[in-house]
Amino acid sequence: MWLCKAIENGMCLFSCQLSFRVKNINFSNIKAELFEENRKHISISGVQEKFSVLLEKNKLRLIKEGERGRYILKPIPSAGKLAGRTPQTHGEHYKYLGNYLEVFQLMEANVPAYKIEAAKLFKILLFNYLFSNGDAHFKNFSLLETPMGDYRLSPAYDLLNSRIHISDNDFALNDGLLPRKLGQGKISKQFLILDEKAGIVEKV
């Protein structure tokens, strides 16, 4: 998932979300070095990756030397991205390693309004369990940038009952809700422990 912003005279005219699953971006013949070179031309502050692009024949493309970008393309950070997990660092099944308490910890480190957003995440996990969504892995939890420049939890996406299609586990992550030493006993008890460990104070 990517966030695209139209910039003119330093002002943001609009922003929208783009998905790799739609053909908004022409990635043909694009190499990693081009992305790295493109980033050098971005002068907007912030640590998040940004790329300068133009709209050409209804497709976005990276700007070339001497061109001025019309749009800014920013990847929306997922929990997997925030944790620095890739197939190269954590293996083929990197998305499914760990537990959901880690997702809360990543949010706490990156979201100023953590208490509010943590309660939303807790509700999503409850939904996933009750509706047997066994595909709620690290890349299916993301943050969105607010107009103030900070981050909040994105709306839930890729919600499905995976058990209709395959014999699936209760949770997508290998360790479930909690680290293995804590994730013992009934699921209801584990949710209560997760609530406590995540520091969620409001009732959900």
Output the CA torsion 147→152→156→162 (10° steps): 140
Biggest CA pair distance of the chain? 62
Distances in whole angstroms, Cα of residue 140 to Cα of each of 72, 120, 137: 23, 14, 5
- pLDDT, residue 41, reads 53
pTM for the full model? 0.70
Amino acid letter, 159: L
Contact 67, 142 (CB under 8 A): no
Residues 6+ apart with CB under 8 A from 31: none
Q: Which residue has the tokens 């995540």?
A: 198
Cβ–Cβ under 8 Å, residues 80 and 95: yes
pLDDT score, position 21: 41
How confident is the prediction along the chain (204 residues), in pLDDT tens digits per residue? 555 544 444 444 444 544 444 344 554 445 555 555 555 554 444 445 667 777 788 777 777 878 877 777 777 789 999 999 999 999 999 999 999 999 999 999 999 999 999 999 999 999 999 999 988 999 999 999 888 889 999 999 888 898 888 887 889 999 999 999 999 899 999 999 999 999 986 554
Whole-angstrom distance, CA of residue 7 vs CA of residue 187? 48
The predicted structure's pLDDT at residue 147? 84
Give the alpha-carbon dihedral of 51, 55, 61, 65, to 10 degrees. -80
Mention every residue, 6+ apart, whose C-beta is less than 8 A from residue 111: 117, 143, 150, 151, 152, 153
Pairing of strands 71-75, 59-62: unpaired
What phi-psi label fits residue 191: left (phi over 0), alpha (psi between -120 and 50 degrees) or beta? Answer: alpha
